[in-house]
Amino acid sequence: MMMVEKEDLGLSLSLNFFQNTPNQPQPLNLTSSSPSQSYFHPKKFSIQETITSQDRNSKLGIDVNRLPCTVVECEEEEAGVSSPNSTVSSVSGKRSSRELDNDVDNRGNISDEEDAETARKKLRLSKDQSLILEETFKEHNTLNPKQKLALAKQLGLRPRQVEVWFQNRRARTKLKQTEVDCEVLKRCCENLTDENRRLQKEVQELRALKLSPQFYMQMTPPTTLTMCPSCERVAVPSSGVDASNRHISMAQAHPRALPIGPWASVAPITHRMFDVFRQ
DNA sequence: ATGCGAAACTAGTTTACGTCA
DNA sequence: ATTGACGTAAACTAGTTTCGC
């Protein structure tokens, strides 16, 4: 499978040109340098549940975020087995990061029995830990090894935990951005459908007008047809008939001055050509 | 230029845990 | 009080890319 560069992903495909369109959702700046926090769904990214359980556990005297290893141990771990996915380093073949983490845990005087019991024990992060991680993520959504170590030390977590948190956080960010982009495209599609419907109707009206004898008699075959670049109506040159009337009649044929395009609320364009007729 | 290994990454999955009906 | 469904977050696996040697 081909990997896609971060910059090439939908994350940066925020359709920013919608930003001036009032009816469109505001694309969120989630570039790698400054991911927006405000855009997250309050429920989905709420840490309330975490806080609740954390508080409960605290009351129960359960420290779910027991410092799993000393800083030195963490640094040892980081130096030796920093990447969970670089699991192919050992001669004896793959070794899961869990096993590696267990090694660390085992150094922390956890019996084998206890270790087996707590295998893949997931520990919710505390409110403070989550907040700090979020703040750090806002500044940069990736961490270099030094930052990772420092953050892990600050939070009392294993570097691996920090690493995983950032991985999952990036995934959530991307998922959210994809949802936003999807919504924008959906609206765009809806606008196009509406516009298509309107144009079809307009074509029908024009055909009806063309077939009506009165209109047909007035029609002198135009040598050239000029189209207003904004409203894309055809302006008939002034030969024979009063130009202003001609435009008015066109306007009558198009009672609704709807702008064209799926993103309808674009800045108005001066109808210079048609202004000439009005003079 | 090419191959290799390590590190770092993403996508997708699994699992533990909290919430709620 | 219990339970099962469900959602979410932490942790995992597999595969890809990048980079230095």
- Residue A56 sits in the same domain as residue A152: yes
Chain segment A223-278, per-residue pLDDT in tens: 555 556 555 555 544 444 444 444 434 444 444 433 333 343 333 333 333 333 33
- Residue A32 sits in the same domain as residue A154: yes
A53 domain residue, yes or no: yes
Count the domains in chain A.
2
A17 domain residue, yes or no: yes
Residue A233 lies in domain: 224-255+267-279
- Residue A135 sits in the same domain as residue A244: no
A89 domain residue, yes or no: yes
Chain segment A167-211, per-residue pLDDT in tens: 998 988 888 888 888 888 888 999 999 999 999 999 999 999 888
Last residue of a domain, one of A142, A160, A178: A178
Residue at the smallest CA–C1' distance to nucleotide B11:
A171
A160 domain residue, yes or no: yes
Distance CA A28, CA A179 (A): 11
Chain segment A65-96, per-residue pLDDT in tens: 444 444 444 444 444 333 333 333 333 333 33
Last residue of a domain, one of A122, A145, A178: A178
Ranked by mean pLDDT, the top range of A17-31, A32-46, A171-185 is: A171-185
Chain segment A128-140, per-residue pLDDT in tens: 888 899 889 988 8
- Residue A155 sits in the same domain as residue A236: no
Through-space separation of residue A74 CA and nucleotide C16 C1' in angstroms = 28
CA A191 to chain centre: 20
Distance CA A36, CA A31 (A): 8
Q: What is the pLDDT of residue A203?
A: 95
> Does residue A89 lie within 7 Å of nucleic acid chain C, judged by its CB?
no
> Does residue A56 lie within 7 Å of nucleic acid chain B, judged by its CB?
yes
Q: How many CB atoms lie within 10 A of CB A4?
A: 9
Q: How many CB atoms lie within 10 A of CB A161?
A: 22
A43 domain residue, yes or no: yes
- Residue A16 sits in the same domain as residue A135: yes
- Residue A233 sits in the same domain as residue A139: no
- DSSP assignment string, A240-258: SS-HHHHHHHHHHH--S-P
Distance CA A264, CA A254 (A): 17
Question: Which positions of strand B lie within 7 Å of protein CB atoms?
Answer: 5-12, 15-19
Nearest nt by C1' to A99 Cα: C12
- Residue A140 sits in the same domain as residue A249: no
A61: left (phi over 0), alpha (psi -120 to 50) or beta: left
> Does residue A153 lie within 7 Å of nucleic acid chain B, judged by its CB?
no
A40 domain residue, yes or no: yes
Last residue of a domain, one of A150, A178, A206: A178
- Residue A101 sits in the same domain as residue A233: no
Residue with tokens 């996915």: A85
Give the mean model confidence (pLDDT) for residues A105-124: 45
> Does residue A89 lie within 7 Å of nucleic acid chain B, judged by its CB?
yes
